[in-house]
A = this chain, B = another copy of it.
Amino acid sequence: MSPRDQEQTRRRVIEATIELLTREGRDAVTTRAVAVAAGLQPPAIYRLFGDKEGLLEAVAEHGFATFLAGKNLDPGPHGPVDDLEAGWDLAVEFGLANPALYVLMYADPARPASPAFTAGMEVLMGRIRRLAAAGWLRVDEHLAAAIIHATARGAVLTWLSLPEDRRDPALLTTLREAMLTAVTTREPATQEAGPAGAARALRAALPEQTALSEGERGLLEEWLDRLTHE
């Protein structure tokens, strides 16, 4: 079997698994059931994915990639805050649209970070960085990522655990709003983009702080001037 064919078979197995997962639930995903659904023998799964864990990881990655493929990830016209908002919505929408897959990826914290998990974080981190560069970030970048992740995770899992007739869309919008106020500032710390603007803003706010020694502050001011006039 050529690598080309093998890739195609992998794809067929993955899609059969997703079908099984979404139609009959997590417990229906057995190696045997997947094998017959994909039209091959149980051991073939192991030749293709190593073990069941490998299969599930491949499934998560495929599902997430497929979802992202239909979305536009470029920065929007309304600034980094709106981009963050859209990114949060994207994460939640993925969970609501693929509950079984989402639970597989995000329910058990013991599961080591899969490529799919990491890919989602990459998207998020890019938006956070732009937010920080524009001076909108209220907290540390890593903390921001954790907050965004936690609110989205909590939103999706709680939403899914509610009976359908008691799901209030306000849960999602309120959590999103809470996330935004926790992570971003209402007023940007700098009006100008790039290092020069940030340096100017920092230069202005500098005299009030005490984290640096006299000498350090002097050198820092020199550097900020250089960055400003670059």
Q: What are 7 pairs between A and B in contact, CB < 8 Å?
A: A99-B109, A103-B107, A140-B168, A140-B229, A154-B154, A157-B157, A189-B198
- Pairwise interchain contact B154-A155, C-beta atoms closer than 8 A: yes
User: A198: which of B151, B152, B166, B198 is its contact (CB, 8 Å)?
Assistant: B198
- Pairwise interchain contact A205-B198, C-beta atoms closer than 8 A: yes
- Pairwise interchain contact A190-B198, C-beta atoms closer than 8 A: yes
Across the A-B interface, the 5 shortest Cβ-Cβ residue pairs: A154-B154, A189-B197, A109-B161, A132-B204, A195-B205
Q: How far is the CA of A227 from the CA of B203 in the complex (A)?
A: 12
A20 at the interface (CB under 8 A from B): no
Which residues from chain B contact A177 at a C-beta distance below 8 Å?
A: 182
Interface residues of A in 179-202 (CB under 8 A from B): 179, 181-182, 185, 187-191, 193-195, 197-202
Q: How far is the CA of A174 from the CA of B138 in the complex (A)?
A: 11
Closest to A130 in B: B204
Given A153-B157, A174-B143, also A227-B209 (CB < 8 A): yes
Query: Considering residues A138, A141, A188, A197, which has the most beta carbons from chain B within 10 angstroms of its beta carbon?
Result: A197
Count residues of chain A with CB under 8 A from any CB of chain B: 82
- Pairwise interchain contact A174-B139, C-beta atoms closer than 8 A: yes
- Pairwise interchain contact B143-A171, C-beta atoms closer than 8 A: yes
Closest to A166 in B: B142
- Pairwise interchain contact A146-B132, C-beta atoms closer than 8 A: no
Which residues from chain B contact A55 at a C-beta distance below 8 Å?
A: none
A110 at the interface (CB under 8 A from B): yes
**Copies of this chain assembled into the complex:** 2
- Pairwise interchain contact B205-A133, C-beta atoms closer than 8 A: yes
Which residues of A come within 8 Å of B, CB atoms? 25-26, 99, 103, 106-110, 113, 129-130, 132-143, 146-147, 149-155, 157-162, 166, 168, 170-171, 174-175, 177-179, 181-182, 185, 187-191, 193-195, 197-206, 208-212, 216, 220, 223, 226-230
- Pairwise interchain contact B216-A223, C-beta atoms closer than 8 A: yes
- Pairwise interchain contact A197-B135, C-beta atoms closer than 8 A: yes
Which residues from chain B contact A202 at a C-beta distance below 8 Å?
A: 195, 198-199, 201-202, 227
Q: How far is the CA of A161 from the CA of B117 in the complex (A)?
A: 11
Which residues from chain B contact A182 at a C-beta distance below 8 Å?
A: 174-175, 177-178
